[in-house]
Structures are given as structure tokens and as C-alpha cells.
Copies of this chain bind each other. A is one copy, B any other.
Amino acid sequence: MLQRRQGALRDDGSRNVLVTGGLKEAFPLRQNGSLSRILHVLLHMDQHRDPMTSEQIGQMLGTNPTVVRRTMAGMREAGYVSSVKGHGGGWTLARPLSEMTLLDVYKALGAPELFALGLATDAPTCLVEQAVNTALGRSLEEAERQLLAGFGQVKLSEIAADFEHRAARSKHGTCKVKHVA
């Protein structure tokens, strides 16, 4: 191995797993998991007629209600979900999944950095580094365009349909939350 093993495996070969209140969540690298988590939440909300509380969602994701509220904040500001306080309150979808794409969610999350590869300096004085940044930057920008274009073409309702399909084929309960209307 090069680069002084920076991976996810520990000496005993196990994954690095955060154990929080008895629940587990595995994040292999120093990656931003909020997009993945939000999607998980949105699809579950779609299966759920009543508002879901941050507490419920937190348990589902194996995380803390506070984290849920904070991550959902962007979605609320963008108008994709709404939150209600007090008895019977919680989170609900503010529009159908057919009117949301991966790109919409990504943007609502504040369009976090996509790549784990970085350029050494923003505006280097070294001409060599300028040339390197230009070449590398060009590839990265192209990839970013591709990726975001791809995100824009995936409607959340399509993901939901894929879920329905999976659910139809295996009759076991799945998550910690029931998939009921």
C-alpha cells in the first residue's frame, strides 16, 4: 500500500463503525453521507401518511434527532418538505416524489463538494502548478457536469418504484420502520 494506509479497515479487519445508542452506521471514508440519508428519509416519508418526527427518523437512520433536524433544514428552506411543531407535528413531504430529482436534493443540501480529490492551491503562482490545475480541473469539471446531469435525470419517484418492486419480491419486513401507507 502507498500513502500510509488511510482506509476504512482497522487492524482487526473490522470496519470503522460508529456505535451510537446501540445503533450502527458505517461510513467507510470521510465522506458526506447527507445526500444518501436524506433520500432514505424522503422515500420513507412517502410511505408514511402521518408526519414523521425527528425522533422516528433518527432511529431509522441510526442517528440523533438533532442531526436530522439540521440536515432536513435545507430541504425545508427549499420547499421540498415542511415541518410542524407540537402535538402530531413532524416532517411531511411538501410535494410528490415525482417532482423531485437527485439534483434537487443535492442542491437543497447546499451542493456539497462532490470530489475527494483536490487541487493543491487555488491560484498558484507556479506555472507548472497552473498547468496541472488546468488539466486536472478540466477533467473534474467535466465529470461534475456529467454527474449532476445524471442526478437531474433521476426522479425520486423512480427510486420509490424500484423500492416497491423490491418489496413486492421479498415479503420480509425490512427497516426498523414499517413500509405502510
Chain A residues engaging chain B, CB cutoff 8 angstroms: 1-4, 6, 15, 25-37, 39-40, 43-44, 47, 61, 70-71, 73-74, 77, 102, 108-110, 112-122, 125-136, 139-140, 142-143, 146-147, 150-151, 154, 158-160, 162-163, 166-167, 170, 174-176, 179
Residues of B near A150 (CB, < 8 A) are: 139, 142-143
Check B36–A133 contact: CB distance below 8 A: yes
A160: nearest residue on chain B (CB-CB)? B131
Task: Check if B116 sits within 8 Å of A112, measured CB to CB.
Answer: yes
Q: Which residues of B contact A4 (CB under 8 A)?
A: 70
Contacts of A163 in B (CB 8 A): 127-128, 130-131
Asked if B31 and A115 make an inter-chain contact with CB atoms under 8 angstroms apart, the answer reads yes
Residue numbers in B under 8 Å from A39 (CB-CB) = 132, 135-136
Determine how many copies of this chain the complex contains: 2
Q: How far is the CB of A140 from chain B (nearest CB, A)?
A: 7
| Known contacts A33-B120, A112-B3, A116-B112; A128 and B44 CB within 8 A of each other | yes
Would A116 and B113 count as touching, CB distance under 8 A?
yes
**Neighbouring B residues of A15 by C-beta, 8 Å:** 122
Assuming the contacts A26-B122, A30-B30, asked whether A136 and B36 have C-beta atoms less than 8 A apart, the reply is yes
23 A-B contact pairs sorted by A residue (CB < 8 Å): A1-B110, A2-B70, A2-B74, A3-B34, A3-B110, A4-B70, A28-B113, A30-B116, A31-B113, A32-B118, A35-B117, A36-B136, A40-B128, A43-B128, A127-B170, A130-B163, A131-B159, A132-B159, A135-B162, A139-B154, A142-B146, A142-B147, A146-B146
